[in-house]
Homo-oligomer: A and B are copies of this chain.
Amino acid sequence: MAISNEAIEKMIDGIGVSIISSVDESGFPNTKAMLPPRRREGLSAFYFTTNTSSMRVKQYQLNNKASLYFFDKRFFRGVMLIGTMEVLTDQMTKDMIWHDGDTMYYPLGVTDPDYCVLKFSAKQMRIYQNFKSDTIDLSGWNV
């Protein structure tokens, strides 16, 4: 592979938008732009803040299959991560990624029941660059 994990992580951190996808109750893929992840553990785990009442949370609670996609329009290169999404509502996780300004979205603060955390765990990665793609297994789990 021509690009290192470090270079992929740098690319992800430089992109201001995360594209997250789910599968809805009728089996259709759904896609949405979100803010960058609040926390990232290498290429294996990504944490996002979201509204507990959102459509996306309901979809992931029914079907945890997910993908994350980051792309750099200037170079027409991108990385797709395939894995699973957990909806976390425990206070320790909520505390971990909370930022002061978040009361703008969650008026009741860090204990707001409408504030929750999406944790994405990657299993496979697909890199697109130079009009080619490579698939990399991240966990020995064949998807």
List the interface of chain A (C-beta within 8 A of B): 16-17, 19, 21-24, 26-33, 55, 63, 65-67, 69, 71, 73, 76, 78, 80, 82, 105, 128, 131, 133, 143
Contacts and interface: CB of A to CB of B under 8 A. Distances in A.
A99 B19 CA distance: 30
A31 B21 contact: yes
21 contacts: A17-B73, A19-B19, A19-B31, A19-B69, A21-B21, A21-B29, A21-B31, A22-B29, A23-B23, A23-B28, A24-B82, A24-B143, A27-B63, A29-B31, A29-B66, A29-B67, A31-B31, A31-B69, A33-B73, A33-B76, A105-B131
| SS of A interface (majority) | strand
**Copies of this chain:** 2
A42 to B, nearest CB: 20
